[in-house]
Amino acid sequence: MKLNHMDVTINGAPIYTIPIGPGIPISATIVSSWIVMLLITGLCIWLTHDLKVTNISKRQAAAEYLVNLATSFVRGNMGVRFDSFIPFVAALFSTSLVSNLLSLVGLWSPTADLSVEAAWAVMVFILITRAKIRSGGLGGYLKGFTEPIFVLTPFNILSEIATPISMACRHFGNILSGTVISALLYAALSLASHALFGLIPGAVGDLLSQIPFLSVGIPAFTGLYFDWFSGFMQAFIFCMLTTLYIANAAGEE
């Protein structure tokens, strides 16, 4: 995409190829995903270091608060008997949130790549299917595709497949749209800054027109929504749907 003198590129294309065999491409998505994993791992190690029973530190209090928050979220949506899902849901939420917010520091957000959400959705779909089979048996699971009448079987199968697809596309679409709008805003403000200060005659005008003054500060207000609010909401919605789908598959009200 080209705006006059500005080139705007939005992609997670390969940035390096490991020279092994035909070549192993390393994309921006892979690099950013590893950064996210390292950040979350480092934060967990720091929060859980030197735990005490009494006279706990503010760091430990924060860790206990986060654990209680995840526990309340899962129990509120699924019930006590699904406590085994607490680590999974907490990991899913933290990974999604940190990935969404990574664009705040100028790095490529892994969740702006559909393959990332697709992998998460496949994991959730496997858990949903597992819950259905454990609840009604394999025969009951297969019979469910023929209800309420046999002629609806193809539509029931499509509905089953649509669950992970809709979860992945919903999360991906919202994050990518925010990334695109933010990139276009930065480009437009840089172009406006170039045009505005270019009106100043002489070498001073040429120098000032090369500095994107208007890109500083203004995008921060839009970032409150596209990065902070939208990033948190998409992580919350994905985890909410995960817990509700699994609980419903297991026959929970």
Distance CA 198, CA 196 (A): 5
Check: CB of residue 243 under 8 Å from CB of residue 89.
Answer: yes
Check: CB of residue 99 under 8 Å from CB of residue 110.
Answer: yes
Dig out the tokens for 2 from the structure.
């080209």
DSSP letter string over 63-114?
HHHHHHHHHHHHHHHH-GGGGGGHHHHHHHHHHHHHHHHGGGGTPPPGGGSH
Check: CB of residue 26 under 8 Å from CB of residue 16.
Answer: yes
Distance CA 63, CA 145 (A): 43
Distance CA 236, CA 239 (A): 5
Check: CB of residue 112 under 8 Å from CB of residue 187.
Answer: no
Residue 217 has a pLDDT of 53
pLDDT in tens, 1-52: 334 445 555 555 556 666 676 767 778 888 889 999 999 999 999 998 888 8
Residue 2, strand partner residues: 7
Residue 212 has a pLDDT of 59
Q: Between the CA of residue 174 and those of 15, 75, 92, 170, 197, what are the distances in Å?
A: 24, 27, 17, 6, 35
| E strand intervals along the chain | 2-3, 6-7, 14-18, 24-27
Residue 92 has a pLDDT of 94
Positions of the chain with pLDDT under 70: 1-19, 21, 23, 193, 197-199, 202-227, 252-253
